[in-house]
Amino acid sequence: MNKHKTIGIIGGQGPVSTADLYMRIIKYYQDHIGAKFIRDYPPMVIYSVPTPDLVESVADENSTFSLIAEATKKLEQDGCDFIVVACNSLQYFIDRLQPLVKIPIIRIAKISTDYVIEKGYKKVGILASYTTIKKETYSKYLQEAHIEVVSPNDDDQKIVEQIILNIIGGEQTNEDKSNLLRFIEKLKSQGAEGILLACTELPLLVKQADTTTPLIDCNELYAQEAAKRSY
């Protein structure tokens, strides 16, 4: 019988980043727990939910919440011990989702903020969807920790959102990567000591090897937390 806890994953926004989170959890088990056989990995249940658009705004907030609420309750019914939401734009729903289930829903922004505090950063930049920025998914935690947050200007933000949509659609380009790296440098020039890649699509396009500016890969931090909680 598998000794590990069961991880519930709400995903689908988009599918590639959901698969990326799953594979990062697997990689953590390989690298840190010595997983070699099928039985060594944790059980996971992925509920992929095709929601209305989330990048520029939540197109239909009530409908989206209902879909995610259904997924949350189903994951608990399926025996999951905790839930991770493989989308930053959906995370602001967690306050409303948590009372629906007894198992914990893990917050990516809280985990990422703890990392920023650990690094000693006093000012960070954020690259994310408009929804994540508008709903203050990260800034409320960072500001509580007295960490200043800088984000792209309106014109740059529109480009970030198009890049996210391109990645979801499998149509990212070299220009998209160049633009992201340019925005990283602009945020650094505004005093950011590190840059939060606070959309699950963005770490698929830009890696630390692409820049000397410290990147905070929120996907990786989230996957590590999920893996650690499962054993």
pLDDT in tens, 161-215: 999 999 998 999 999 999 999 999 999 999 999 999 999 999 999 999 999 999 9
For residue 51, what pLDDT is reported? 81
Q: Which amino acid is at 62?
A: N
Asked whether residue 183 is assigned to any structural domain, the reply reads: yes
For residue 56, what pLDDT is reported? 54
Q: Taking 90 as the threshold, does the pLDDT of residue 43 lie above it?
A: yes
**Are residues 103 and 171 both part of a single domain?**
no
In 3-state terms, what secondary structure has residue 194?
Answer: strand
Sheet holding 7-11, edge to edge: 44-48, 7-11, 82-85, 105-106
**Are residues 159 and 194 both part of a single domain?**
yes
**Are residues 102 and 13 both part of a single domain?**
yes
Asked whether residue 2 is assigned to any structural domain, the reply reads: no
Specify the CATH number for the domain of residue 162. Answer: 3.40.50.1860
**Are residues 211 and 225 both part of a single domain?**
no
Looking at the structure of the chain, the number of domains it has is: 2
Q: Is the separation of the CB atoms in 52 and 63 below 8 Å?
A: yes
pTM: 0.94
**Are residues 142 and 74 both part of a single domain?**
no
Q: Is the separation of the CB atoms in 12 and 88 below 8 Å?
A: no
**132: its two tokens:** 């994540």
Which helix H or strand E contains 74, and what residues bound it?
Answer: helix 61-77
Half-sphere exposure of 202 (CA within 13 A, CB side): 30
Range of the domain at 172: 109-218
For residue 24, what pLDDT is reported? 98
pLDDT in tens, 64-116: 899 999 999 999 999 999 999 999 999 999 999 999 999 999 999 999 999 99
Q: Taking 90 as the threshold, does the pLDDT of residue 124 lie above it?
A: yes
